Amino acid sequence: MNECPTCGRYIRGDVCPYCEEELLDSAAGDASPVAGESLVPVYSCDEQWQADFILSALEAEGIPAYKVSAEAVGQLPPNEYAVEITGDIVVTVEEDDAERALEVIESVKQDLEAEET
């Protein structure tokens, strides 16, 4: 695992998906829990306000969520929950929270559509 010099997270890869900073080599054999080790993309958009809205909805449900750039998503390992990346901004969650996060996002999208009609 490598350490991000900006946010201090330990992550696999060479670039932090949160800060987009180059990661520093960490000591081999570090057995500490690794934040962000299993992040998965659950929502993608082009507008900052949309990402912030989804982020707020997830956090209101107790699901920690993070915004990253579409380029940073390429640094994340493949997973079964990954959504198609169609925008420049991607919302990610821990893999354990992905199924619930997708349900929350679907509910939020339905609520927004209902308000528009």
Looking up tokens 């490598």, which residue turns up? 2
Length of the chain: 117
Asked if CATH classification 3.40.50.1220 holds for the domain at 38-117, the reply, yes or no, is no
How open is the CA angle 79-81-83, to the nearest 5 degrees?
105
Instruction: Give the span between the Cα atoms of 83 and 20, in whole angstroms.
Output: 21
Summarised one tens digit per residue, pLDDT across range 98-117 is: 999 999 999 998 877 777 66
Would you write out the chain's pLDDT as a tens digit for each of its 117 residues? 567 777 666 666 788 787 788 877 754 333 333 444 588 889 988 888 888 999 999 999 999 998 887 776 666 655 565 566 767 888 989 989 999 999 999 999 887 777 766
Give pLDDT, residue 54.
94
Full-prediction pTM beyond 0.75? no
Summarised one tens digit per residue, pLDDT across range 5-14 is: 776 666 667 8
In the chain, where the domains are located: 1-36, 38-117
